[in-house]
Structure 1
Amino acid sequence: MSDSPPAHRRGRAFAEGVLSAAANELLNTGFDGFTIANVAEKAGVHVTSIYRRWRTKEQLVIDALLSSVEPTIPVPDTGSVRADLVELTLNLYASITSPQSKALLRLATMPLDFDRLDEARGRMVDDRSAAMEVVFERAVRRGEIGDTVDPRLALELLHSPIYSRVLITHEPVDDAFVTDLVDLALHGLAPDANTRTRPRIRGAASE
């Protein structure tokens, strides 16, 4: 335990110190072992000062995670939609497998009703959809894909298998897997995809 008396920081310096200490505490102890008393000790502030700003442990945990997770990912511009999508998907994988993002994902599965967590998830999805839209706009101009692609649907198509491996199967996500995933997606995004004959579903009624 530190022998230094609690500091009397205010405003931004106080918030940044507490949030940094809280993020580290969460990564070291997990949500169940997380306590505001430990955060106060590590941040060098009074427990009562933390409670005046964050009424509950859950509120502090959410703010700490949101402050430490980068909401945006870089938009690649390689000149090829295939290379762009591979790089974009690998960037997403790197962003969601950081310790902070993993903690945020676990928190998102808990029965906590906080609008800020929902808003943060929405902002992250919007950012990734926007990045996908930029990549697709360039690809359409180059004639690599059709012009009717829904960026959010394509985002789900490419990224759902990533989340599945990270959260459920724990199988590896390597360059080969991502490249195969992108190639599979591009098969349906090609310029002539809308004119291809759709396979007949077995048992479907004849038109």
Structure 2
Amino acid sequence: MEQEPKKGTRRRGRALEDAIFSATLDELVRVGYTALALDHVARRAQTGRATLYRRWSNKRDLVADAVASALPPLERAPDTGHLRTDLLICFEQMHGLLDGVGRLALQALAAELHDPTDNVLTDLIREQVLEPRLQVVLDVLLRAASRHEIEATAAVPVLARTGPALLFQHALMFGKPPPRTHIEELIDRVILPAAGMARQS
């Protein structure tokens, strides 16, 4: 039988939302997306089921919001005037994104998002979590092209995705982000040469 929230511990607003998101991420890591149930989330968050259903009509929306809440805030595209420095800032932010509970939640999702029956969830995670951060990298490349630091043909989405994809791949394969020293190597050996720039000394 579901445990109702204890008297005197009722939360509202941000405190309640934080408790629900934390419970959702815990359940996601523990059982995966397919087996995740709103009833179990409510019990873990010590709130009523109706509280969840008033805010989220299905678990897809709840999981997408919970994962987004666990990630570092989306930063504006850096604009130092130098592509390498801007990329370093972007990838340091990506490194932080891959740390902690946000990484664990994304790993749990990655194991199940290949299911073609749940494309809605895939779309939510892509639109709310991944694409905004990839756009930041693309904006950095576009600014570098506007400064004539790289050719306009290099400021394309496929290059913007390359660095984040390699960072995510390492985290998914090894269960942790790559060492920070790999960020500079990734920039100097992969991104800058692909953009037509010589490796920085």
Fold in common (TM above 0.5): yes
> Residues 95-110 of structure 1: matches in 2 within 5 Å?
95-110=97-112
Out of 22, 25, 45, which is 1:24 matched to?
22
Q: Is the 8 A contact 1:18 1:39 kept in 2?
A: no
* Residue matched to 1:4: 7
1:1-207 counterparts in 2 under 5 A? 3-4=6-7, 7=10, 13=13, 16=14, 18-28=16-26, 30-32=29-31, 36-37=38-39, 39-40=41-42, 43=45, 45-51=47-53, 54=56, 60-70=62-72, 72-110=74-112, 111=115, 113=118, 115-170=120-175, 173-184=178-189, 185-190=191-196
Residue deviations 1:61-111 (CA, integer Å, cap 9, x gap): 444334444572332222211111111111112113241343034224314
1:19–1:67 CA contact under 8 A, matched in 2: no
CA distance in 1, matches of 2:73, 2:180: 23
Q: How far, CA to CA, are the matches of 2:110 and 2:71 in structure 1?
A: 14
The structure-2 alpha-carbon separation of the partners of 1:174 and 1:151, relative to structure 1 and needing over 3 Å to count, comes to farther
**Matched-pair contact (CA < 8 Å) for 1:19–1:63:** no
For residues 119 and 77 of structure 2, what CA distance do their matches in structure 1 show?
30
Amino acid at match of 1:4: K
Long gaps (5+) in structure 2:
none
Residues 79 and 49 of structure 1: is their aligned pair in 2 closer, same or farther, counting only changes over 3 Å? closer
Question: So what's the TM-score if we normalise by structure 2?
Answer: 0.70
Aligned-partner residue type, residue 87 of structure 1: I
Distance 1:20 1:26 in 2: 10
Deviations 1:27-84 (A, max 9, x none): 4453429664564456554334434654665654444334444572332222211111
Q: Looking at both structures, which has the greater relative contact order when contacts are Cα pairs under 8 Å and sequence separation is at least 6?
A: 2
Gaps spanning 5+ residues in structure 1: where? 193-207
- The one-letter amino acid paired with 1:92 is M
Q: Which moved more, 1:81-90 or 1:57-66?
A: 57-66
TM-score, length of structure 1 as denominator length: 0.69
> Residues of 2 paired with 1:166 and 1:178: CA distance?
13
- Find the residue that maps to 1:121 and give its secondary structure: helix
1:200 alignment counterpart: none
Moved more, 136-145 or 65-74: 65-74
Amino acid at match of 2:67: L
